[in-house]
Amino acid sequence: MTLETRDYGTIEYEESDLIHFTDGLFGFTELKDYIPLVLDENEDNTILLLQSIANTDIAFVVVNPFSLDPDYDPVLSPEELSYLHVKSENDLSYYVICVLRNNYLENTVNMKAPVVINPDKRIGMQVILNDSEYEFRKKLSSFSAVQEGLTQSAANA
């Protein structure tokens, strides 16, 4: 199948590439199917673009939260684990939605409401980690991994 996207032009994909969100994502409940696109071929799926199939103007930059905070510890309810057809959180992939601003130092990630995916079943959901102190709008520049990258980029300039 092919899809004409705003950011990637025409892409080809298989039905098996799709990730289905039965309830959609927060604020986009009508959009159920997304294709994950790798933003940097040199990366190991740390940063993806979740491209909506139904509305090609909608795509989310998502980041693996463990690349930002190795101590990130999302805890899902038994109901959420059941919904995703797994017994353990270790069987899931986690991503946080990144909001990009004109000033890159103002970019934020939503650590409180990660996108959780069962990579085997190709299903996902967005959850709110109610019993956590994670932030909805945590500045990317506040993470040491990002600070190190900014410092290295400045040194190479």
Mean pLDDT highest for which of 5-9, 79-83, 144-148, 153-157? Answer: 79-83
Residues 6+ apart with CB under 8 A from 51: 3, 5, 7, 8, 11, 34, 35, 36, 37, 58, 59
Q: With 70 as the cut, is the pLDDT of residue 11 above it?
A: yes
Rounded to two decimals, what is the model's pTM? Answer: 0.87
Owning domain of residue 6? 2-156
Q: Give the confidence band of 39 by pLDDT, cuts at 50, 70, 90.
A: confident
Number of domains into which the chain is organized: 1
Summarize the confidence of residues 13-29 as an average pLDDT.
96
Name the CA dihedral angle for 71, 35, 44, 25, rounded to a multiple of 10 degrees: -10
Give the CATH number of the domain where residue 149 resides.
Answer: 2.30.290.10
List all residues 6 or more positions away from 86 whose beta carbon is below 8 Å from its beta carbon. 92, 118
